[in-house]
Every structure is written in C-alpha cells, then in structure tokens.
Amino acid sequence: MASYPSVGIVSVGMGNISAIEGALRRLCIQSSRVHTSDDLLAITHLIIPGVGAMGAFMSRLKYNNLYYSLRSFAGHGKILGICLGFQSLYSYSHEGQCDCLDLLEGEVKPIKEFTKISTNIGYLEISERDRVPPLVNQIIPLKPLLTENVCMIGRRYRPEYYFTHSYFVPVGKSTTHTAQLDPELCITAASSNGVNIYGTQFHPELSHAIGRTLISQFISK
C-alpha cells in the first residue's frame, strides 16, 4: 500500500464522479477511479460518490465485485461516503429494499414517511451533536475558514452545505452532525465510526469553499 495519501473514487457507472474530481483538482489533489477490487490496492483514501438510486448502486457494486472488497478496505483505509455513498455505509436501505455495506449501524428511510416533503433540496446549516469525537470535528468544519473580518461577499462562504436527497438516516449511534429538515424531523447530516469511516448526507463537492475544506481535511487525515 502507498505510504502517501492516494485518493480513489468508486466508479461503477453512476454518481457525480466528475464533480468530485473537479473539487479535488481545485485542491491540487490527484485521484483515480476505482472500478475493480484491484484498484483499491493502490489507494489510502476512498470516496464513495453520491447521486443515484440505492438499489441500482448496490447491484453495480456487486456486479463489479466491489461489495466485499469495500468492506475489507474499511478495515484499514479511510472512507468518505457522500449522499448515496453515505447512505450505502449503513446496514439497510428502504430505497430498493436492499442490504448495504453495513459499516455503520442504522437504516435509510424515505423522507416522505416522516414529513410532508418528499425531497430535501437546498442549502442547510448543520449542527454538531454532543460528544463528537475530536477527530471528526477536525474533518467536518462547522465554520468557514475565512474569518468575518475578511471581506468576502456571498453565500458561498456561509457555513451551509448542499443537500439533495429523498431518503435519510435517522439520528443514531454514529451520528456526529445533524440538520433540521422541518420542525419535526431532524436527520443525520454527517456520521462516523470515530476512526476511519466518515459520511455526509450533504454534498461537500457542491458546497463551495467550505465543502472543499471538508474534503481537504479528510484527505489530510
């Protein structure tokens, strides 16, 4: 295994891989696409991208012989799951009624069963949950790096992250950050096993500067 950070992005024919590659390019970080289990041998950090339906995604992981390889990689490598990739870290998803990677405990449930809206799309602020492991805190920034006395205009420097999803993970054991979807529904915005597996329901690669900060901090760990 390489001793320096080497980033791979799961590529099974779906997910907004190009957007993640673009964010990494802006950070001057090279990445490779992980198509097969052999590709995992050369990387230290793995990003599981978002955008897709869970049933199709899990089928493609299995078709590409990546299902068990990813579970095995979780034993030593660092993983960041984004949106669909984040949900795939959990045990079971009601989207497609399928078993997922089972790296974190919990189930993925449809938003519409708990609130009036069927899809959550937009920018939301997230909140830290009590007793977040320090390591996670260093990775998921709540505040923008730019201080208030630096004159920057625009939303892109606010601590907001871009969400787009119709399924969610209820707040559970691994939840580190939450977001309030409506007055009745609080969802998991980010989670971690506290060691090497991280997931964000939001899209850091689409969340302007603060999102790139998160990716950068994940890679530097």
What track of x and - describes contact with other proteins for positions 12 through 41 (by CB under 8 A)?
A: -xx-xxxxxxxx-xx---------------
Structure tokens at 139: 């990775």
Contacts of 84 (CB under 8 A, 6+ apart): 15, 48, 49, 50, 51, 52, 53, 54, 57
For position 121 contacting other proteins by CB under 8 A, the verdict is yes
Q: Which stretch binds other proteins (CB under 8 A): 74-82, 127-135, 142-150, 161-169?
A: 161-169
Q: Which of 30, 65, 118, 220 binds other proteins (CB under 8 A)?
A: 118
Q: Which is nearer to other proteins, 75 or 183 (CB)?
A: 183
- The Cα–Cα gap between 18 and 131 comes to 35
For position 76 contacting other proteins by CB under 8 A, the verdict is no
Report 184-203 residues binding other proteins (CB under 8 A): 203
Q: Which of 1, 38, 41, 55 binds other proteins (CB under 8 A)?
A: 55
DSSP 155: G
Instruction: Report the C-alpha dihedral over residues 95, 99, 102, 107, rounded to 10 degrees.
Output: 40
- The Cα–Cα gap between 40 and 44 comes to 8
Q: Left if phi > 0, otherwise alpha if psi is -120 to 50, otherwise beta: which for 78?
A: beta
Residues that bind other proteins (CB under 8 A): 13-14, 16-23, 25-26, 51-56, 84, 95, 112, 116-124, 154-156, 162-166, 180-183, 203, 205-206, 208-209, 211-212
